[in-house]
């Protein structure tokens, strides 16, 4: 079990209604394993059960049935609390504090010594790119800056497993890219990341494996590249061929009974274009 950062067996949650009758099935018989050191994406449309899964994993909710383990211990186990970092969908940060003060506050909650807090706060503020704004009140922060300080707060205890609920929501493409780079950086440091999101492009670019939930039911899980790969369709990216040469290639494919499904100049993504333009003018 220890090689898994997260293990979920038959996890089911039925919320009770106002009259305490079981009514809303938010999660049904979920089975999932997340390996140590991977970035795993939990995807699904609104209301598909992502946050419920996270709350069950963290022990904030009790399952109707089923079990889950984090870092080899049952969810909610006291010994794992210090090894887990969590960024909720909405971070409730004290906006009358500045970046240093808020991180110091959370460091104290984890019983870090004054020296440890100072060292970690310095490191984290640099890591999330907020050094120039470390003394600025959070009430004056942009959405992106708040998300970044939320992430710093989530990892103040140097966790082995980081659970991020919609870390890039509400951010512009530059902010999203920065957060994605940060998540990849955590991963390089050997940390496991569970990322919940409905921003598919973000998940595709950083997650090694994913699971898709719909109406509380697991639809598919697996390696992102394998899930997206269509072995029967090949893509060539070529340059330096004349129009005549391209015609020859097309002819050759037709002779071999192949079918050219598309052929057009390579397009970059709108995100690449946006980020390039903005960065050129910064
Ligand atoms: N406390 C609650 N009481 C009753 N029903 C709830 C409660 N919390 C969530 N639900 C319901 O459970 C289902 C799953 O909700 P959940 O918040 O887990 O989905 P989600 O995938 O995280 O959605 P989103 O992307 O909007 O955050 C939804 O139908 C939701 O309305």
pLDDT at 1: 47
Distance from the alpha carbon of residue 274 to the mean position of ligand 1, in angstroms: 33
Q: Whose CA is nearest to atom 20 of ligand 1?
A: 47
The Cα–Cα gap between 8 and 65 comes to 11
Distance from the alpha carbon of residue 265 to the mean position of ligand 1, in angstroms: 43
Does residue 24 line the site of ligand 1, with CB under 6 A? yes
The Cα–Cα gap between 69 and 79 comes to 12
Please list the pLDDT of the chain residue by residue as tens digits (282 residues): 457 999 999 999 999 877 766 687 899 999 999 999 999 999 988 889 999 999 999 999 999 999 999 999 999 888 888 899 999 887 777 888 999 999 999 999 888 999 999 999 999 999 888 999 999 999 999 888 888 899 999 999 999 999 999 888 778 888 888 889 889 988 998 999 999 988 888 888 899 999 999 999 999 899 988 888 878 888 888 889 999 999 999 999 999 999 998 888 877 777 777 777 777 776
Residue whose CB lies within 8 A of the most ligand 1 atoms, among 12, 24, 87, for a mutation test: 24
Residue whose CB lies within 8 A of the most ligand 1 atoms, among 15, 195, 215, for a mutation test: 15
Residue whose CB lies within 8 A of the most ligand 1 atoms, among 41, 51, 216, for a mutation test: 51
Backbone angles phi, psi at 233, to 5 degrees: -115, 125
Choose among 67, 94, 87: nearest CA to 4. Answer: 67
pLDDT at 29: 97
Counting from 1 in the atom list of ligand 1, the atom nearest the Cα of 55 is 18
Predicted-complex ipTM score: 0.96
pLDDT at 71: 94
pLDDT at 209: 94
State whether residue 66 is helix, strand or coil.
Answer: strand
Q: What is the pTM for the complete model shown?
A: 0.84
pLDDT at 203: 87
The Cα–Cα gap between 165 and 54 comes to 8
Spans of all domains in the chain: 4-228, 243-280
DSSP 75: T
The Cα–Cα gap between 68 and 4 comes to 11
Backbone angles phi, psi at 64, to 5 degrees: -70, -40
Residue range 4-228 in CATH 3.40.50.300: yes
pLDDT at 282: 66
The Cα–Cα gap between 99 and 138 comes to 7
pLDDT at 93: 77
């Amino acid at each position: 079990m220890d090689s898994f950062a997260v293990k979920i067996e038959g996890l089911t949650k039925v919320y009770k209604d106002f009259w305490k009758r079981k009514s809303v099935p938010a999660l049904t018989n979920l089975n999932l394993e997340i390996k140590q050191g991977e970035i795993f994406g939990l995807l699904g449309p609104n209301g598909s059960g992502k946050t419920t899964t996270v709350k069950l994993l963290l022990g904030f909710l009790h399952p109707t049935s089923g079990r889950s383990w984090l870092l080899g211990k049952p969810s909610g186990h006291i010994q794992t609390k210090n090894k887990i970092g969590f960024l909720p969908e909405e971070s409730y940060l004290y906006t009358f504090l500045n970046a240093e003060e808020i991180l110091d506050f959370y460091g104290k909650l984890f019983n870090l010594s004054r020296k440890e807090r100072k060292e970690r706060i310095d490191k984290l503020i640099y890591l999330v790119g907020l050094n120039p704004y470390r003394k600025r009140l959070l009430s004056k922060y942009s959405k992106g800056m708040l998300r970044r300080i939320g992430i710093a707060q989530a990892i103040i205890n140097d966790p082995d497993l980081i659970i991020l609920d919609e870390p890039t929501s509400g951010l512009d493409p530059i902010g999203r890219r920065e957060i994605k780079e940060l998540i990849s950086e955590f991963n390089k440091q050997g940390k496991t990341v569970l990322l919940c999101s409905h921003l598919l492009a973000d998940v595709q670019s950083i997650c090694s494996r994913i699971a898709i939930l719909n109406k509380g039911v697991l639809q598919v899980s697996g390696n992102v590249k394998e899930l997206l790969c269509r072995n029967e369709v090949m893509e060539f990216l070529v340059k330096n061929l004349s129009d005549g040469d391209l015609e020859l290639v097309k002819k050759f494919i037709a002779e071999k009974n192949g079918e050219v499904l598309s052929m057009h100049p390579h397009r970059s993504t709108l995100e690449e274009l946006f980020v390039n333009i903005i960065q050129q003018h910064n």
